[in-house]
Amino acid sequence: MRVAIFASGNGTNFEILAQQFQNHDLPGDLVLLFCDHPTAHVIDRAKRLKVPYETFTVKECGGKPAYEKRILKVLQDYQIDFVALAGYMRVVGPTILDHFGGSIVNLHPAYLPAYPGLHSIERAFADHQTQTGVTIHYIDSGLDSGPIIAQEHVAIKPDDTIESLEERVHETEHRLYPAVLKEVLTKRIEKGE
């Protein structure tokens, strides 16, 4: 099972997953990081962990259709079987979904269907909710609307700040995502998918 991780930013989830692949705590081989921001810190993490990476922007490709075709070619060149989105801040379109349907999972920092899209932690906090959460789901053509694999609530405490809440959401992500990926990848490998 050849795995790619897509990320757009700092890359804390990428680093945790990469270390678990390298320690054989996760089945399969992490063979690629794709990042749509060439200056993102996640690329520094990939270099340090010696994970091959590719990076280019929608703009340099001349638009989303050409961008997705180029990503698809990269995935095919690396013979990718499975994609894990870890802070990838773009909607995956039909060019990639048509080839990888049912083989892309996403990590979302909210208890879906509440707060899909961007700034989920901030929106839950601003709405004075008592809890938010983390969701891991297969992606489809909608915005954070694919079949849910696992979810966990994260309490929003009365004395929370955005920073303290983000920290607890990230702690939950760092624990839940590797555990769920291990289960998903193990089942796929056993079935020979």
Confidence at residue 192, expressed as pLDDT on a 0 to 100 scale: 83
Instruction: Quote the number of domains for the chain.
Output: 1
Scanning the structure block, which residue is given the tokens 């694999």?
149
- Tell me the sheet residues that pair with 30: 3
Q: Is 172 annotated as a binding residue?
A: no
| CATH number of 39's domain | 3.40.50.170
Q: Is 106 annotated as a binding residue?
A: yes
- Tell me the sheet residues that pair with 54: 34
Q: Which residues of the chain have pLDDT under 50?
A: none
Confidence at residue 193, expressed as pLDDT on a 0 to 100 scale: 72
Q: Is 182 in contact with 23 (CB distance < 8 Å)?
A: no
Question: Whole-angstrom Cα distance, residue 91 to residue 145?
Answer: 11
Which residue among 37, 41, 99, 108 is the active-site one? 108
Q: Which parts of 15-147 are beta strand (E)?
A: 29-35, 53-55, 82-85, 104-108, 131-138
Express each pLDDT in 51-79 by its tens digit.
999 999 999 999 999 999 999 999 999 99
The pTM assigned to this predicted structure is 0.96
Domain that holds residue 87: 2-191
Q: Is 57 annotated as a binding residue?
A: no
